[in-house]
Structure 1
Amino acid sequence: MAAFARWQYCGEPAEGQKAALVQFSNGKLQNSENVNFSLYKSKDTTNPRKKFRRILAAETDRLSYVGNNFGTGALKCNNLCRYFVGVLNKNSGQMEIYDAELFNMQPVFPDDLNNSETTLGNKTKSYRDQVDFCIEAFGTTKQKRALSSRRMNKVGSETLNNAVAKAAENIIDEKGVTALVKDAAKDDLQDESAYLPPCHTDGVKPEEIYKFEDLLSPAEYNALQVPSEVLKNVTSEEIMKMIEENSYCTFVIEALKNLPLDEESRDRKARCLWFLNILIKFRSQTVIRKKNSLGPDVPHIINTKLLKNFTSLTYNNGSLRNLISESMKAKITAYAIALALHINDFQTDLTMLQRDMKLSEKRIIEIAKAMRLKISKKKLSLEPGSEEDHKIGTLSIPLPALPRQKRT
């Protein structure tokens, strides 16, 4: 007669006590006996965002691996699914079920693995050494490059050349030259697209490259109907008053002077201009201390969109706050350019946007080129007898090639 196992769920785990399930990004584990695992927990138990953070390290005779449940390298599936591990007692026929968490183990290649191990176990190491180790395991591509450059200046040339040669041989043996080239290209593309709106490169028309729905959802667009009425029915006298009060940015003021006569087109343009003005005002802030920081006229759904998509939630002095970091400011700039393209038939004045957002010309051109815009010059008349050069960004098919990344 066949035997049956009985399931027994061991209950909700104690705070942070979950079994660890691991997967290796560069292959399958053949022999688990040759791997040593170490689990590190955050000491900050008062911070609600940090107390559940875990770092799992694995050591083999060839490579070291690191996985974590937070940051950009964490698996999103941990937030969407629950994982369980069952341990079967063959004698009693009872299977105990425990909560589990999935870790994606990534290989790391520090300059000297022994030094990294010493840093983990030795609390007397300097703060600089501890920060360097964290950058090696979890830093961004830019941080890792800066760390590598600093160490290159510190280490003797002969020792460095030997270390680099050995590391290169190990990496090439493990992945192969072709795979490394593909990984490098993929990393560059991810760095570029981190703050850009979704780009549909297979689009056959400019409006299909940066889709309007990716900038404003139908619900958000509908919410703009009431607040944008002031722009839809604006008069010349009201435009002059806007200029005197500096209540709207220059790009919006100039666009209001040429609103289309068609009712539907006029309404759409007014809504887009109102949201663009709010987006530029939002960018000028650094810390959002209250949800309606832009005033009571901003619809709730728009406030939520701005906080969710263009701020980073940080923990400071026992409270959570929304911070607009430099990377988020770059993201807002990219979305403002994309919206301006839809407003002006996919050709927009970058110089005017640059001044409204208080950017350098180099920075806005850099973002525009990353968005695959063609950059040209155009002379604009300011006063009788005077002209000024403006940079114009145009989105056209076929898309130009992405600018090359400078690798250090």
Structure 2
Amino acid sequence: MSAFATWQYRGEPGEGQKAALVQFSNGKLQNSENVNFSLYKSKDTTNPRKKFRRILAAETDRLSYVGNNFGTGALKCNNLCRYFVGVLNKNSGQMEIYDAELFNMQPVFSDDLKDSETTLGNQTKSYRDQVDFCIEAFGTTKQKRALSSRRMNKVGSETLNIAVAKAAENIIDEKGVTALLNDAAQNDLQDESAYLPPCHTDGVKPEEIYKFEDLISPEEYKALQDPSEVLKNVTSEEILKMIEEKSYCPFVIEALKSLPLNEESRDHKARCLWFLNILIKFRSQSVIKKKNSLGPEVPHIINTKLLKNFTSLTYNNGSLRNLISDSMKAKITAYVIALALHIDDFQTDLTMLQRDMKLSEKRIIEIAKAMRLKISKKKLSLESGGEEHHKIGTLSIPLPALPHRKRR
């Protein structure tokens, strides 16, 4: 065997045909030897849109499957990506590479086929009925087993639908419509919790509910040392300059005015404030076109975290972009609140965060309540001499019950 392997691109394995990669929508294939595949291609070779159309059929002992590369059921990834199959010659160490195409195989039931009515003798039968009739008369043992299994699945499906309908009626009679609507609202809230930081409800102290390492990992915390130095050693003059240039959000600037004197605590708070400011800046964007959109001073590990955890990869006009959707903005908001709780000893000013992130009060209160915070009001004095009420979020033990939301 050669010490080094090489590969050679062979192009498409056949004229106008690519190697087929299949995935089954209802499970994983245990034994490929028990599956027979058939590939059908369009006869219309002159039409540029139709000549590459393919239908792949698969038959097992239990079910029949079909997949295609056109129409509504086709996989969009074939248009976004290129797939290849490599065949390695272990003796020569050379791998031949061929173009490939991905097919999503869907099980075929008798109900899935449209009734194409044709006359057979004196009876009207669908195409599916005619095929089944032929299988019963002339089919192989494997085909007959598949037919029997398909018919049993149909009967089982109808029985299941009847049983589900009956069970639903019993539940409604037993619990009532109001209770069911409350349960549904609770489920909606649990779905929304997928965008919240990990919540350890068994924690005995506030810092154990939203753990710091779930917000900033040890490696990320270490990377924050250098960029946060500007906050750690900030002077009164520099704070005034920050206010003038609006380089940091008001929440961070207010916290900088009262940094701890202890060196270790001061360093810790500076790192947290710098990262919180970056989170809020990142949230203000909609589409990330460049990986270092926040500037070269942001460490690579932090940039990677933001893109991986708070964006969705989208394809547009021939290029990939990172999109910050509304759900991702809600996720960033929740992480900002959790980090602010650690900065402010688990009692933070939601009104200031709301203004920094340009949110409505209703929205930030909704997220704070989903995070199991207690909401209170606090009167604060303004530099102009007046006063205003701020909403304060407090994380305390025991945690309050999850809020119920009315269903619209």
TM-score normalised by the shorter chain: which range applies? 0.5 to 0.7
Deviates more, 1:25-34 or 1:385-394: 25-34
Query: Residues 277-298 of structure 1: CA distance to partner in whole angstroms, max 9, x if unpaired?
Result: 0000000000001000000000
Query: Residues 309-359 of structure 1: CA distance to partner in whole angstroms, max 9, x if unpaired?
Result: 000000101111100000000000000000000000000000000000000
Larger radius of gyration: 2
Query: Residues 164-185 of structure 1: CA distance to partner in whole angstroms, max 9, x if unpaired?
Result: 9789459999999999999857
**Residue 177 and residue 390 in structure 1: after superposition, are their counterparts in 2 closer, same or farther (change >3 A)?**
closer
Query: Residues 61-106 of structure 1: CA distance to partner in whole angstroms, max 9, x if unpaired?
Result: 9999999999999999999999999999999999999999999999
- Give the unaligned 5+ runs of structure 1: none
Deviates more, 1:282-291 or 1:124-133: 124-133
Question: Alpha-carbon deviation of 1:134?
Answer: 34
Question: Alpha-carbon deviation of 1:147?
Answer: 36
C-alpha separation in 2, matches of 1:219 and 1:135 = 64
**Residue 388 and residue 8 in structure 1: after superposition, are their counterparts in 2 closer, same or farther (change >3 A)?**
closer
Question: Alpha-carbon deviation of 1:187?
Answer: 3.5
- Give the unaligned 5+ runs of structure 2: none
Quick check: 1:23–1:105 contact (8 Å CA) kept in 2? Answer: yes
* 3-state SS of paired residue (1:95): strand
Deviates more, 1:94-103 or 1:264-273: 94-103
C-alpha separation in 2, matches of 1:251 and 1:120 = 79
**Residue 295 and residue 41 in structure 1: after superposition, are their counterparts in 2 closer, same or farther (change >3 A)?**
farther
Question: Alpha-carbon deviation of 1:191?
Answer: 1.3
C-alpha separation in 1, matches of 2:137 and 2:379 = 50
Question: Alpha-carbon deviation of 1:7?
Answer: 25
Question: Alpha-carbon deviation of 1:396?
Answer: 0.2
Give the TM-score taking structure 2 as reference length: 0.61
C-alpha separation in 1, matches of 2:263 and 2:210 = 24
C-alpha separation in 2, matches of 1:258 and 1:374 = 25
Query: Residues 90-127 of structure 1: CA distance to partner in whole angstroms, max 9, x if unpaired?
Result: 99999999999999999999999999999999999999
**Residue 243 and residue 41 in structure 1: after superposition, are their counterparts in 2 closer, same or farther (change >3 A)?**
farther
* 3-state SS of paired residue (2:88): strand
Quick check: 2:82–2:99 contact (8 Å CA) kept in 1? Answer: yes
Quick check: 2:19–2:101 contact (8 Å CA) kept in 1? Answer: yes
C-alpha separation in 1, matches of 2:221 and 2:91 = 63
C-alpha separation in 2, matches of 1:365 and 1:142 = 61
Deviates more, 1:65-74 or 1:92-101: 92-101
Deviates more, 1:14-23 or 1:342-351: 14-23
* 3-state SS of paired residue (1:114): coil
**Residue 222 and residue 287 in structure 1: after superposition, are their counterparts in 2 closer, same or farther (change >3 A)?**
same
**Residue 9 and residue 230 in structure 1: after superposition, are their counterparts in 2 closer, same or farther (change >3 A)?**
closer
Question: Alpha-carbon deviation of 1:194?
Answer: 1.7
Quick check: 2:2–2:92 contact (8 Å CA) kept in 1? Answer: no
Deviates more, 1:357-366 or 1:138-147: 138-147
The aligned counterpart of 2:359 is: 359
The aligned counterpart of 1:310 is: 310
Question: Alpha-carbon deviation of 1:254?
Answer: 0.1
**Residue 310 and residue 76 in structure 1: after superposition, are their counterparts in 2 closer, same or farther (change >3 A)?**
farther
Deviates more, 1:328-337 or 1:23-32: 23-32
**Residue 121 and residue 314 in structure 1: after superposition, are their counterparts in 2 closer, same or farther (change >3 A)?**
farther
**Residue 369 and residue 281 in structure 1: after superposition, are their counterparts in 2 closer, same or farther (change >3 A)?**
same
Task: Give the aligned length.
Answer: 408
* 3-state SS of paired residue (1:368): helix
C-alpha separation in 2, matches of 1:121 and 1:173 = 51
Identity of aligned residues (%): 91
The aligned counterpart of 1:148 is: 148
* 3-state SS of paired residue (2:118): helix
C-alpha separation in 2, matches of 1:199 and 1:139 = 58
Question: Alpha-carbon deviation of 1:12?
Answer: 14
Deviates more, 1:163-172 or 1:229-238: 163-172
Question: Alpha-carbon deviation of 1:192?
Answer: 2.2
**Residue 162 and residue 315 in structure 1: after superposition, are their counterparts in 2 closer, same or farther (change >3 A)?**
same
Q: CA RMSD in A?
A: 12.5
**Residue 276 and residue 102 in structure 1: after superposition, are their counterparts in 2 closer, same or farther (change >3 A)?**
same
Quick check: 1:379–1:389 contact (8 Å CA) kept in 2? Answer: yes
Quick check: 1:65–1:105 contact (8 Å CA) kept in 2? Answer: yes
**Residue 405 and residue 296 in structure 1: after superposition, are their counterparts in 2 closer, same or farther (change >3 A)?**
same
Quick check: 1:20–1:100 contact (8 Å CA) kept in 2? Answer: yes
* 3-state SS of paired residue (1:134): helix
Quick check: 1:369–1:403 contact (8 Å CA) kept in 2? Answer: yes
**Residue 84 and residue 169 in structure 1: after superposition, are their counterparts in 2 closer, same or farther (change >3 A)?**
farther
Quick check: 2:210–2:338 contact (8 Å CA) kept in 1? Answer: yes
Quick check: 2:117–2:127 contact (8 Å CA) kept in 1? Answer: no
**Residue 155 and residue 83 in structure 1: after superposition, are their counterparts in 2 closer, same or farther (change >3 A)?**
closer
Quick check: 1:47–1:315 contact (8 Å CA) kept in 2? Answer: no
C-alpha separation in 2, matches of 1:339 and 1:48 = 56
Question: Alpha-carbon deviation of 1:385?
Answer: 3.5
* 3-state SS of paired residue (1:106): strand
Deviates more, 1:361-370 or 1:157-166: 157-166
C-alpha separation in 1, matches of 2:350 and 2:64 = 47
**Residue 16 and residue 279 in structure 1: after superposition, are their counterparts in 2 closer, same or farther (change >3 A)?**
farther
Deviates more, 1:249-258 or 1:141-150: 141-150
Quick check: 2:115–2:126 contact (8 Å CA) kept in 1? Answer: no
Quick check: 2:181–2:407 contact (8 Å CA) kept in 1? Answer: no
Deviates more, 1:87-96 or 1:58-67: 87-96
Question: Alpha-carbon deviation of 1:225?
Answer: 0.1
Quick check: 1:83–1:101 contact (8 Å CA) kept in 2? Answer: yes
Give the TM-score taking structure 1 as reference length: 0.61
Deviates more, 1:148-157 or 1:205-214: 148-157
Paired residues for 1:42-121 under 5 Å: none
Question: Alpha-carbon deviation of 1:190?
Answer: 3.5
Quick check: 1:228–1:274 contact (8 Å CA) kept in 2? Answer: yes
Quick check: 2:109–2:154 contact (8 Å CA) kept in 1? Answer: no
**Residue 229 and residue 5 in structure 1: after superposition, are their counterparts in 2 closer, same or farther (change >3 A)?**
closer
C-alpha separation in 2, matches of 1:140 and 1:352 = 74
Question: Alpha-carbon deviation of 1:262?
Answer: 0.6
**Residue 283 and residue 69 in structure 1: after superposition, are their counterparts in 2 closer, same or farther (change >3 A)?**
farther
**Residue 178 and residue 392 in structure 1: after superposition, are their counterparts in 2 closer, same or farther (change >3 A)?**
closer
Question: Alpha-carbon deviation of 1:36?
Answer: 16
In the TM superposition, structure 1's runs of 4+ consecutive aligned residues that sit over 6 Å from their partners are 1-167, 170-183
